[in-house]
Structures are given as structure tokens and as C-alpha cells.
Amino acid sequence: MSRKLRFFKDQIIKAGLLSSIHPVVEPDVELEELEMQLAEHEHELIEMNSNSEKLRRTYNELLEFKMVLLKAGSFLVSNKNQAVAEERELSENVYSSDRYVEASSLLEQQMRTADQSGLRFISGIIFQSKALRFERMLFRATRGNMLFNQAPAGEEIMDPLSAEMVKKTVFVVFFSGEQARTKILKICEAFGANCYPVPDDFSKQRQITREILSRLSELETTLDAGIRHKNKALTSIGYHLTQWMSMVRREKAVYDTLNMLNFDVTKKCLVGEGWCPVFAKAKVQEALQRATFDSNSQVGSIFHVMDAVESPPTYFRTNHFTNAYQEIVDAYGIARYQEANPAVYTVVTFPFLFAVMFGDWGHGICLLLGALVLIARESRLSTQACARTYHV
């Protein structure tokens, strides 16, 4: 249940609804009923997230297709005609020379052959940060037998997983030959580039663009409705989230305490064994009686002193001043029972050794001022620490 509540809180924070939700205090429900409610809410949210992610991916694909049509279609025909003219001019100049075989490239040879394999292209979109490496890889894979054109997409696209806006670049690659096409497609897949078919005919481009714009409008309406429905569900959950988290935290604390106890032979009461200082026996009995009275228990608590064979754990009585030195000593090792406590000597030696290591007046004054501030606010800081510990 704690995992589900954390999931609800993360979803509320991600939706930006945490500040607008005011908790409502209602009577506590049974733990089994609460578990069923949380399971239903989790299943509903997971299903809404899945549907929203699918719609967002479809929307992104259509948006990218629209960008490719607008950007790539503007320079598709002109660049293709320019490439054909340049290649024909190179073919004529080089073909008249005796060194044609050595100087001509694969693309020039194919353009010289009468329409056996015409100039082809692949259009798509890629992350702007990968565009330079993508172009370099295409140039190396095709040995320079390609023409690469790119243009910024103009709009940022939301990533459905991270919900972040990313910049992309539209590209068009002109090439010749099936082998080059296979290489280019593999490189596109490796770089995560999305390829979209762009027709040569401008009328078909305009028709496809109108259809895509219509689909995008419908998807925007659907996404907005889904976001409103999800926010409504998250708001309803947020009203009770604080109370539910308090209930689960309280139940976990109860079960954590019960796990440290054992059933007796009759299975009618719980037995807890532990160590306490001799001077604290009266305080322990008083605390048990007070707990029995506060909980309205019909069965009282029994405090019984047992004889133990094993050596008891070490306990050192400290105050606010000596507690810090005791923690420093305990970090290196805890003295065994009835052994001398090194913290007594550390109270004297540690400040001296610390002063030797940091023999600086400025550093010492800063530490002194910081220590005085902490001493002056000791009661307030201890109260905040206790409250923070309770709410964890």
C-alpha cells in the first residue's frame, strides 16, 4: 500500500495539482477496504496513463509527419533537380576524359546509365543533438555518394515517457541504389530517426497534410479530455491521500512492533524480551501501566525480570554535552559490558586534537559562532526533528 500511495503522490506532483488540493479529514476505514480502494485507483490510473501514452505517441508521429511534409517538401524537388544536373554535368566532363573510371563515383556512374536506377530519397526526423553525427555516419557509410539536407523542425515535441520538450531536425537524404538505401535505413534505426514517406507530387502532399491536420485536431481534443479526466481522478485521490498515508504509516508501525514480539505457549498473549538499565525498571513499569490505561485494554501488562546467561549490552548514560563525544567513540567501536568508557577521556582530548589540526583563529571563530547559534536554538531544532521523524 505504501508503494501505491507513493505512486499517487508522484502522479499528483507530476500533474501539478499538489498545491491546489486541500486534505479532508474523514473517519478511518478498515485496512482491507482501504487496500481494495487503492488497488482500484491504481488500476484506473495505470490504464489512463497507458491510453494517454499511446495517444501521445500517435500525436507525435502525426506531428512529425506534418513537419517532414512542410520542411522536406519545400526543398525536395529543387534539391533533387540540382543534384541531377550536377551529376550529369560531372558525368559529361569526366566521361570525355581518359581517366573516367578512376575519377567517377558510384553515383555518377549510375546517373550516366540511362534511368536504370534513378535518384531516390529518404525523409525523416531526428533529434537535433544527433543530426551532426548522423550526417557524418551517412557520409562514411555511402562513401560520399549522397546529398544530405536538413532544417530545424520549428516546434518542440513532447517525449511521452519523460514529459519533456525536445528539439528535432527534419532531414532528406538523396541517394542511388538499393544497397545505399539499406545502409541508410539501418543507420536511421540505429540513431532513433523516424522516417516518413513524402510523395513527389505537391497535390498529394497537400492532401496528406490536410488529413494529418484533421487527425491532429481530433487527437488534441481527445488528449485534453483525457487530461481533464485524469486530473479529476487525481484531485479526488488527493483529498484523502494525507489521511491514507497516516493510516498506512500507523499500521506499519504497529506491525513492526508486533514483529518484535512472540506468542506465548497458550497463544493468548504476546511476550517481548529486552534489556533495560536497573535504574529504569520503575520507569518501564510506569510506561506499561500508562499504555494499558490509554488503550483501554482489559488485560494488564506484566513486567517480569528474567535471569540471562549472555552478557548484557553496553549502555552509557549521556547528556546533551557528552552525547556527541559518545557517538564519535561508538563510530570506532563500542566498549563491552563493565569496561571503561573512552568517551570520558575524549571529552578532554578531542577538542585539543581538533585545535591542533585546525590551528586557525578565523576557522575557530566561525565554528564557535555556529556552535553558539545551534545551542541557542537547541530546543526549537529538537522539536522540528521530532516532528519530522513522526511524519516520515
CB 275 within 8 A of CB 313: yes
**What pLDDT does 88 receive?**
55
- How many whole angstroms separate alpha carbon 124 and alpha carbon 352? 71
CB 59 within 8 A of CB 223: yes
**What pLDDT does 384 receive?**
66
Residue 51 has which C-alpha cell?
Answer: 491510453
Question: How close are the terminal C-alpha atoms of the chain, in Å?
Answer: 15
CB 23 within 8 A of CB 242: yes
Place of cell 498473549: 269
Tens digits of pLDDT across the chain (392 residues) = 788 888 888 888 887 777 666 666 667 777 778 888 888 888 888 888 888 888 888 888 888 888 888 877 776 655 545 544 444 554 554 444 443 334 334 444 444 443 444 678 888 888 888 888 988 998 888 888 888 888 888 778 877 666 678 888 888 888 888 888 888 899 988 988 888 888 877 788 888 888 888 888 888 888 888 888 888 888 888 888 888 888 888 888 888 888 888 877 776 778 888 888 888 888 888 888 888 888 787 777 888 888 888 888 888 888 888 888 888 888 888 888 888 888 888 888 888 887 777 777 787 788 889 989 988 888 777 776 554 444 43
Phi/psi for 15 (5° steps) reads: -80, -10
**What pLDDT does 20 receive?**
61
